[in-house]
Every structure is written in structure tokens, then in C-alpha cells.
Structure 1
Amino acid sequence: MARIKESIIGTTPFERLLGHNPELLNGWSHLGKVLEKSGQLSSELKEQVRRTLAQQNGCEYCKAKGKPEPDQFNNKTSFAVGFAEVFLQVKGEIPNSVFELLKDSFTEEEISELCAFIAFTTASQYFGAMIKLEA
């Protein structure tokens, strides 16, 4: 059971926990939708990154949506997932050498989107973990 009661605002359990603050929910949801859709990076790649992050960020709700599916990876997805794994290990203190490897496969626009996606997804998953959002 979550640490606080769900509000009546929102469609998912996550949204109803943010729904106590409608302006926050609206902004968070809008940014989430922007980041989830295909932009510079495909939504499929980002879903594999999200699944990778979920395994270590402590949100049971997020973990329940599935583990990464390596059989679905292409080279770009493998690099993105590897970058997410490094992020998880070093908590953001990513060595320059890792960024140099990333630049071999991604444009600067893609790297910016990937980093924003990882940061936002981690924040979402940390929120779920703090609130004890269950699957």
C-alpha cells in the first residue's frame, strides 16, 4: 500500500498520487509524454532504457512493467542501455570516456534526449519508490 492515499485526479495509480497537486501532475505528465514519444530516439529504445532503470531504482510499480528485453536490442539500444547501467552504477558521475563512446553512435541531440529521459525517468521511479507505489 502506498504511503499516502490516492487522490481522485489522474488515471493511473502514479498519476493519482501526484494528483494531490494538479498543476504538478499536469506538468509532470506533459513532460513524460514528450519524453516517451519518438523524438531523436525511438520510443522502443527509451522503453528498454526505462526497464533497465526500473530494475535498480526501487519502484515496484515500475519494475512490474517488465525487464529489459535484450533480444529486442539493436546496436543503438545496446549502447543506450549500457549508458543507463553506467549511470546507475556511478549515480551521475559519468566519466568523459563513456561520453566519448556514446558520441561514436549518437548525435549530440540524441545524447541530450537520452540524458533528459534517464534523469526524468529516474526521478519518476524514485517518486514511486519513496511513496511505496506497488505493482
Structure 2
Amino acid sequence: MTRIPYATKGDTPFQQVLGTCERVMWKWVDLEEELIHYGRLSVSLKEQVRRTLAEVNSCEYCKRKGKPDELHINERQVVATGFAVVFQQLNGEIPDAVFARLQETFTNEEVVELIAWITFANASQQFGAAVKLGSET
């Protein structure tokens, strides 16, 4: 059972828990929309990063959306998901060699977008894990 009761605001279980603080929920939703649908990185790349992080962060709600796709992954997705795991495991203390590999694959604008997406996805998933979102089966 989730630790925070669902509010009446929001379209998804995540939003309904966050909807307890309605203004925060709407800002969160706006930022999520911006990060997912705008920018240079593809939605599919960002989804692979999100799915990879869901496994690392143990967010049951997030993991229900599926495991990372290992069959249809391209080089950019491999680099992005690998970077996301290193970023999470090392708390942002990225070795220079890892960052250099990232910059070989992505433009600076894409690197910034990717890091913003990773930090947002981590925050969302850690929130979900903390409130036990998705634990009700």
C-alpha cells in the first residue's frame, strides 16, 4: 500500500500522490512534458534511460512500464543508459573518461539535456520508491 493516500488531482497514480501538493504536481508535470517531448534527444532514448534507471532505483511503479529493450538498442542508447547507471551509482561523480565518451557521442546541448533527464527521472523514481508507489498489487 502506498504510504501517502491518493489525492483527487492528477491523471496517474504518481500524479495523484504528488497531487497532495497540487502546485508542485503541476510544475512537475510541466517539467516532465518539457524534458520528454522537447529537445534534441529522441523520446525512445529517454524512455530507455528511464527504464534502465527504474531497475537501479527499485521503483515498482516505474518498473511496471517495462524493462529496458535490449534487442532494439542503438549506440547512442547504449552510451546514454550506461552513463545513467554510472551517474546514479557514483552520485554524479563522473570520471573524466566516462564524460569524454559521452561527449564523443552527444553534442553539449544533448549532454545537458541527458543529464537533466537523468536527474529528473532519478528524482521521480526515488519519490515513487519512498512512498511505495506501485506496491499495491
The TM tier, using the shorter chain, reads over 0.9
Q: CA deviation at 1:39?
A: 1.8
* Secondary structure class of the residue paired with 1:61: helix
Q: In structure 2, what is the equivalent of residue 95 of structure 1?
A: 95
In structure 2, stretches of 5+ residues that fail to align are none
Letter in 1 for 2:71: D
* Secondary structure class of the residue paired with 1:56: helix
Distance between the aligned counterparts of 2:31 and 2:62, measured in 1? 17
Total equivalences in the alignment: 135
Q: In structure 1, what is the equivalent of residue 56 of structure 2?
A: 56
Q: CA deviation at 1:97?
A: 1.3
Q: CA deviation at 1:104?
A: 0.6
Q: CA deviation at 1:38?
A: 4.7
Letter in 2 for 1:72: H
Distance between the aligned counterparts of 2:111 and 2:23, measured in 1? 29
Q: CA deviation at 1:58?
A: 2.0
Let me know the Cα RMSD of the aligned residues: 1.0
State TM-score, norm by structure 1.
Answer: 0.96
Distance between the aligned counterparts of 1:91 and 1:57, measured in 2? 12
In structure 1, stretches of 5+ residues that fail to align are none
1:13-28 → structure 2 map (5 Å cutoff) = 13-28=13-28
Letter in 1 for 2:29: S
Identity of counterpart residues, as a percentage? 50
Q: In structure 2, what is the equivalent of residue 80 of structure 1?
A: 80
Distance between the aligned counterparts of 1:7 and 1:80, measured in 2? 35
User: Runs in 1 of length 4+ with deviation above 3 angstroms?
Assistant: none
* Secondary structure class of the residue paired with 2:105: coil
State TM-score, norm by structure 2.
Answer: 0.95
Could you report, residue by residue, the CA deviation over 1:45-85 in whole angstroms, capped at 9, with x for unpaired residues? 00000000000112100011111002121111111011112
